[in-house]
Structure formats: C-alpha cells, structure tokens
Amino acid sequence: DRASGRSGGLNPENSAADSKNLRVKLVLLGDSGVGKSCIVLRFVRGQFDPTSKVTVGASFLSQTIALQDSTTVKFEIWDTAGQERYAALAPLYYRGAAVAVIVYDITSSDSFAKAQYWVKELQKHGSPDIILALVGNKADLQEKRKVSVQDGTEYAEKNGMFFIETSAKTADNINELFEEIAKRLPRPTSS
C-alpha cells in the first residue's frame, strides 16, 4: 500500500496543535505543452491564463486546502519551468516530493508515452512512499482525443496510481485532483 507510512516529502508542522496541518512538496511532470503550468494557475489563482507561464517557473507556488476532517494541506507545487528536457536535473527536482503529478494531454499519444516514462522513473528513483497521480489534461478537447479514458484508467490501476482527467481551461476536475491527492496523504499519528 503506497499510501501508508511516512513519506519522505511529508512535513507535518512540528507542534502538536498543528498536527492536522500538513505541508507537502508536489512536483509536476510531463511533456512540455500538456498544460502543467495552466493546471497550477487554475488551482492557485482560479485563472486560465497561458501567458503568465514565466512567473510560475520562478520557484514554486503554494496553495492550502481544508478537508472535511479539518485537516489542512499546504501544497508546495513545483513546476518544471520547461526543464523537462534536461533529464539529468530530474532527480534534484523530485527529491523529497511526497506527491508527483504526472500529466499528459488526451489529444497526444506521445505525451501519454512520456507520462509512462516518468512513472517508471519515479518508481525507480522517487521516494518509496511517493503518491503518484496520473492526469489526462485538456479533457475539453474531446473531438481531438487520442488517448481513451480506458487507456488512462488501466495504466493507472496497473501502477497503483490515482487517475483523473482534467481541463485547466474549463476548470473541470482541477480542485478534485488536489482534494483526492490530499485524502491519500498519510496522516501523522497524533499523540
């Protein structure tokens, strides 16, 4: 069970009173152009604005969400800033990440193949407890679809990943993506 136990990238705030406030490093991976920056901007700012990409790459953006059990989760979201080409940098990037969100574009089979490459890479070199989420983005472009829902679902199931299709453009399933990840985070044992 990948979701159980302590994760390398999960840093519960130290004081006991804060034991329900989690802080997690989340990295985004996937081919250039699949919509990683747009997903982050949609989640953090509620906007779809592809032109503001540059500012996202600077370091990371953070966003806190509250769950129904009154746990809060602060996501520190790292975007590759276009460096997905430099494979040698990747381990530095995902070191210490509790969550990796691997994104493809449902209109691009190549991007789905690339997503599978990243899954293997993280299974080999990521933290053993890392939570992997597979995201098929641009779900609004149904007429151009090349990767079926079934392909995504089956691949994710085989690899013990959470799967969801999103649209950063229409905001479909963007909040749900992060809420589902938050629910899968291991909770620090409260004393």
User: What residues line the site for ligand GDP (CB under 6 A)?
Assistant: 32-38, 50, 53, 137-138, 140-141, 167-169
Closest residue to ligand GDP: CB criterion: 35
CB nearer ligand GDP, residue 127 or residue 137: 137
Q: Least distance to ligand GDP from the beta carbon of 40, Å?
A: 8
CB nearer ligand GDP, residue 104 or residue 155: 104
CB nearer ligand GDP, residue 25 or residue 42: 42
| Cα dihedral 137, 56, 22, 87 in deg (nearest 10) | 70
Q: Least distance to ligand GDP from the beta carbon of 103, Å?
A: 7
CB nearer ligand GDP, residue 152 or residue 186: 152
Instruction: Let me know: does 48 contact 42? Beta carbons within 8 Å.
Output: yes
Nearest to residue 185, comparing CAs of 77, 28, 70, 73?
73
Q: Least distance to ligand GDP from the beta carbon of 80, Å?
A: 7
Q: Least distance to ligand GDP from the beta carbon of 44, Å?
A: 13
Tokens of 21: 């406030």
Nearest to residue 42, comparing CAs of 108, 140, 111, 109?
140
51 DSSP assignment: G
Give the SS3 label for residue 109. helix
Nearest to residue 106, comparing CAs of 66, 171, 151?
151
Q: Least distance to ligand GDP from the beta carbon of 128, Å?
A: 27
Name the one residue in this structure whose structure tokens are 């090349």: 146
CB nearer ligand GDP, residue 146 or residue 169: 169
- Residue 166: CB atoms within 10 Å: 27
